[in-house]
């Protein structure tokens, strides 16, 4: 069975990825399970650079094939913000997802709706010696002024999928793992992971 380290300590993200890869012939590990504590400085200029920084750091520390991702919300009216700073949009220790959603909505008040936006994700599959293959996923939608739904995390409650009339936080895990940016990037990465099966099983 292929062993794969998921380079995240974000519980919500791990739940999504486990559901995505469920039923495949691989065993998933988190850094916490392996006793690995790394604080990777995500100072890349793109999502891909950040995904590679995390992937290479965790793959080197663990000696395992590693899947890392970086993603963000891009709001057209805000010139693509929060983008790379999605997780750090509120620059205050202890800031929560709710704080970040509130700031996004406050920043949008001066602009007419619809507030078009997209989630973008890059995934890197990295070996301990630094070889890497990458995939990308996009999910188009718009921001709405009231939060809806209790699933998901981050900006999901204010990100509407117009074709469904639901926010990302109103989707079931099955629906989200068919439509989300992370799901699309991770599914595109499956053939990349398989390329390494003989080496890391």
Catalytic residue among 25, 70, 99, 129: 70
> Does a cis peptide bond (omega within 30 degrees of 0) precede residue 82?
yes
- Known catalytic membership, residue 70: yes
Angstrom distance (rounded) from CA 185 to CA 118: 14
3-class SS of residue 45: coil
User: From start to end of the chain, where are the E strands?
Assistant: 2-6, 26-29, 65-75, 115-126, 132-143, 159-161, 166-167
Please state, in angstroms and as integers, the Cα–Cα distance from residue 15 to each residue in 38, 135, 162, following that order.
20, 20, 25
Tokens 């010139």: give the residue. 79
Cα-based angle 151, 156, 157 (whole degrees, multiple of 5): 75
Give the list of residues 6+ apart from residue 93 with CB closer than 8 angstroms, or none: none
Active site residues: 70
């Amino acid at each position: 069975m292929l062993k794969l380290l998921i380079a995240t300590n974000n519980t919500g993200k791990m739940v999504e990825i486990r559901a995505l890869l469920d039923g495949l012939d691989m065993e998933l590990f988190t850094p916490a399970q392996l006793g690995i504590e790394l604080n990777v400085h995500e100072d890349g200029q793109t999502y891909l650079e950040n995904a590679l920084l995390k992937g290479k750091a965790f793959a080197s520390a663990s000696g395992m094939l590693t899947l890392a991702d970086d993603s963000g919300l891009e709001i057209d009216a805000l010139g693509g913000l929060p983008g790379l700073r999605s997780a750090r949009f509120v620059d205050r220790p202890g800031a929560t997802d709710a704080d970040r959603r509130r700031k996004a909505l406050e920043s949008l008040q001066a602009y007419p709706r619809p507030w078009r936006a997209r989630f973008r994700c890059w995934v890197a599959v990295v070996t301990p010696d630094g070889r890497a293959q990458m995939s990308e996923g996009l999910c188009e939608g718009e921001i709405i002024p009231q939060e809806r739904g209790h699933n998901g995390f981050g900006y999901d409650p204010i990100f509407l999928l117009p074709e469904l009339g639901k926010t990302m936080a109103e989707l079931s895990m099955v629906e989200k793992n068919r439509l989300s940016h992370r799901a699309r990037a991770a599914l595109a990465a499956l053939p990349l992971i398989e390329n390494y099966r003989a080496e890391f099983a």
